[in-house]
Structure 1
Amino acid sequence: IDEPIEQVSTDGAYDHRHCYDEIAAQGAKAVIPPRQDAVIWQHGNCKGNPHPRDENLRHIRKHGRKRWKQDSGYHRRSIAETTMFRLKTILGGNLSARKFDNQAVELFIKCAALNRMIQIAKPNSYKVEA
């Protein structure tokens, strides 16, 4: 990836020290939900900056997991995952093109078609005075 990475959002399977280290090496923010039984890795009385995982864990303990997902932007991951599921279900999970550039065009066309279908089926909403 040529562009700078701002945030990496993964599921809890990547809640490991080496994953946080790799993400930090790229200069990105790690948004990984800690396991339910997670413990603090680096306590506040330790020298050095607080570990990003510990900051996530402290925020979850203070405000709850649902609020952490909203505040950290983690909910965007599930939206992207749902979109990919919808794309694969409607248009298939395989590509016909063999070359990478052609595959990119094929995916672009599939995404454009999916967006068009969503816009056509989207209901109009109006505010009603009670």
Structure 2
Amino acid sequence: MPLHWVMAHNAYTFRRKLHVRVDEQTKEILAAEVTVSNVHDNRMFSPLLSQVLGKVCQVSGDGAYDTMTCYESIAHRRGEKASIPPRRNAKSFRRRDGSGGLTLRDANIQEIRQKGWYAGRIAGGCTRQSVAENAVSRFKVLFDPTLRARRFDNQKAEGLMKCAILNRMRSLGMPVSERIL
């Protein structure tokens, strides 16, 4: 889930994105990358996926990650389920080589077609990207929306440092939310 920063210098505006990978259970930011604004979200998917070692049961993301490269990177890490909502007019990927990325996306599309758009998204876990959206929201509320550093490598360090601070604050305590009926 990207966070956009705007840097103004004279008449030029520089935008930066913070891409994060969040653990669904602990709400901890496991991986983060700061990029320039013209880097699309799906290009950062594989680097974020490779930063986390160990077993991952499910990978969730928003519609920006509904690309063949994202599904292929999930398929290379055996045993993971993809919960990425396909586009409304989604068609199955037609591939000649029969790679694993094809079956993950087609399973999501098939489930949505059988159960309907909303019920299929809920059953397939496609609403789980809200955990990353909540982490980005906490980030925006707690920290200044601008970067103080001027050089790009220092901006990357500042973004990663803010993620580490957010993880430390999360470890000290998170609010408990309960549904009121």
Same fold, TM-score > 0.5, yes or no: yes
**How many Å apart are 1:23 and its aligned residue?**
0.6
Which of the pair has more CA radius of gyration? Answer: 1
- 2:123 alignment partner, one of 44, 61, 71: 71
Q: Is the 8 A contact 2:114 2:120 kept in 1?
A: no
Q: Which moved more, 1:32-41 or 1:71-80?
A: 71-80
2:170 maps to a residue whose letter is C
Change in CA separation of 1:3 and 1:30 when aligned onto 2, cut-off 3 Å: same
Q: Which moved more, 1:23-32 or 1:76-85?
A: 76-85
In 1: Cα distance, 2:179 partner to 2:93 partner: 49
- What is the TM-score of this pair, normalised by structure 2? 0.49
Matched residue pairs, number?
116
2:60 maps to a residue whose letter is S
**How many Å apart are 1:92 and its aligned residue?**
1.1
Q: Is the 8 A contact 1:31 1:74 kept in 2?
A: yes
In 2: Cα distance, 1:26 partner to 1:16 partner: 16
Structure 1 residue matching 2:59: 3-state secondary structure: strand
Change in CA separation of 1:93 and 1:32 when aligned onto 2, cut-off 3 Å: farther
**How many Å apart are 1:63 and its aligned residue?**
0.7
Residue 106 of structure 1 corresponds to 165
**How many Å apart are 1:60 and its aligned residue?**
0.7
Query: As a proportion of its length, which structure holds more strand?
Result: 2
* Identical positions, percent: 29
Residue 13 of structure 1 corresponds to 64
Cα RMSD of the aligned pairs, angstroms, is 3.7
In 1: Cα distance, 2:68 partner to 2:179 partner: 47
Runs of at least 5 residues in structure 1 that lack an aligned partner in the other structure = none
1:108 maps to a residue whose letter is N
- What is the TM-score of this pair, normalised by structure 1? 0.65
Q: Report Cα offsets for 1:21-71 as digits up to 9, x if no partner.
A: 1111012211111111111235xxxx8987111111111111122212221
In 1: Cα distance, 2:164 partner to 2:70 partner: 32
Q: Is the 8 A contact 2:68 2:93 kept in 1?
A: no
Change in CA separation of 1:52 and 1:93 when aligned onto 2, cut-off 3 Å: farther
Q: Per chain length, whose mean CA-contact separation is higher, i.e. which structure has more relative contact order (CA < 8 Å, sep 6+)?
A: 2
Runs of at least 5 residues in structure 2 that lack an aligned partner in the other structure = 1-51, 149-156
